[in-house]
Structure 1
Amino acid sequence: MLPLRTGVTLSELQRYVAEMEAERGFTQSTVSEQARLGEEVAELFKAIRKQADLPVDHRSITGTVAEELVDIAIYVRAIANRQGVDLEEAFGEKESLNEERTWWPAGERPES
Structure 2
Amino acid sequence: MQGETTNFPNEMHTIEDFQAFHRWLDAQKGFATDIFLNMTMLSGEIGEVAQVLKQVYFMIDPAHTNQEVKTLEEALTIHRENLGQELADCLAYIFKLANYTGVDLQQAYLEKMAKNLHRTWKYKAEEE
Q: CA RMSD in A?
A: 2.6
Q: Please, which runs of 5 or more residues in structure 2 have no aligned partner?
A: 1-5, 65-80
Which has more radius of gyration? 2
What are the Cα deviations for residues 10-54 of structure 1, in whole angstroms up to 9, with x where unaligned? 11011111111111101x430011112111100011012224445
TM-score (norm 1): 0.75
Q: Which residue of 2 aligns with 1:95?
A: 113
* TM-score of the pair, normalised by structure 2: 0.67
Q: Which residue does 1:34 correspond to in 2?
A: 38
Higher helix share: 2
1:78 and 2:96 matched: yes
**Partners in 2 of 1:91 and 1:73 — Cα distance?**
13
Count, aligned residues: 100
> Which letter maps to 1:92?
L
Give the direction of change, closer, same or farther, for the CA distance of 1:5–1:64 in structure 2 (3 Å limit).
farther
Query: How high is the sequence identity, in percent, across the aligned residues?
Result: 27
